[in-house]
Chains A and B, each alone.
Chain A
Amino acid sequence: MKVRNGILKGELKVEGGKLIKCLIKLKDNKIEEIRFSGDFFMYPEEKLEEIEKALKNVSIEEIEEIFDTSFKNVEIIGATKEDFINLLKQLIEKD
């Protein structure tokens, strides 16, 4: 679903788990801005801000690699790392 000002918005309800929402703004096929939200649990919580920072100026091909390197020592309850990656990829590929 596309919303205003070139911002893409999507969500993923994890089966038996929680809801992940994502807003992204793309520029030249790279992520310019990104924000995840939702009712999942993540420990430590600050990791989400770290991954959002790490994903800036990243192309779709690099997303998985960024998650692998930046999403270490994090425990997600109600979703998985792959759910975040899939939501992001679906959103960008749909654009």
Chain B
Amino acid sequence: MEFRLILHEHRNAYENMAIDEAILKKGVPTLRFYKWNPSAISIGYFQSILEEVDLEECKKNGIDVVRRITGGGAVYHDREGEITYSFVCSEKLFPNILESYRIICRCLAKGLHHIGLNAEHTGINDIVVNGRKISGSAQTRRYGNILQHGTILKKVNVKKMFSLLKVSKEKISDKKIKSVEDRVTSIEREGIEANDNEIIEGIVKGFKEVMNIKFYKADLSKEEIKIAENLRRKYESKEWNFKR
């Protein structure tokens, strides 16, 4: 099985979501890695932006907010604090949804093992290290294809995350922050020194081993770029972001 490997640096939230959907639309089997600049909040397809996000605080801090095409929860994508992956393949490869989460998350967990983390898949879409969440993923199925994307935390700042998300303010006591800090971890917090290349190399290796994938490095096709340019307008629009 051959997959395209795309290594992207920073892009803004709307471009990133548009590119993921463009790849999904064309369905070329792909694993892409990317980052977010400016830092951004992405909310799940079914979430209410007004209920989940402190838009004023985001504006003040220059944080973009975008609705994803995938379900799941709100995520803070720090410019330097995480790496995002997206994985696209034909739906035929994984007819069963939960099974596809299991296999893709197993690739990620195995990949994190390669940089020295004792990572394992838990629940539906989380990866934990010693019981603390280090990665969350979300999946959609459209155009006969699957898109699963997710984040891998390099550094974590729970206080900042809370200031941007609408966790009812009175509940953000130090105790609550502490309890979230106890449930979340990052590569840095686990005492691992790994740069982006090493993290990506590890994860790619995880996919090779678990799914027996061979990768070739390439970028988006001209057609995908064109589709993404059009889709970017959707992801920037109030109509899309405020639909719930």
In the complex, which residues 36-62 of chain A have their Cβ closer than 8 Å to any Cβ of chain B? Answer: 36-45, 48
Q: Chain B, interface size: which category? A: 20 to 34
Kindly state whether residue A30 has any CB partner on chain B within 8 Å: no
Kindly state whether residue A35 has any CB partner on chain B within 8 Å: yes
Kindly state whether residue B201 has any CB partner on chain A within 8 Å: no
| B interface SS class | loop
Q: Chain A, interface size: which category? A: 10 to 19
Whether A37 and B48, one on each chain, are in contact in the complex, defined by CB atoms closer than 8 angstroms, is yes
Chain A neighbourhood of B71, CB < 8 A: 39-42, 45, 77
Chain B neighbourhood of A42, CB < 8 A: 46, 71
Q: Which of B76-84, B136-144, B172-180, B182-190 contacts A (4 or more CB under 8 A)?
A: B136-144
Chain A neighbourhood of B47, CB < 8 A: 37-39
Q: Choose from A16, A35, A43 the contact partner of B140 (Cβ within 8 Å).
A: A43
Kindly state whether residue B211 has any CB partner on chain A within 8 Å: no
Chain A neighbourhood of B138, CB < 8 A: 41
Looking at A16, A17, A37, A40, the one whose CB has the most chain B CB atoms below 10 A away is A37
Chain A residues within 8 Å of B, Cβ to Cβ: 16-18, 21, 35-45, 48, 75, 77-78
Chain B residues within 8 Å of A, Cβ to Cβ: 44-48, 51, 69-74, 97-98, 123-124, 138-142, 244
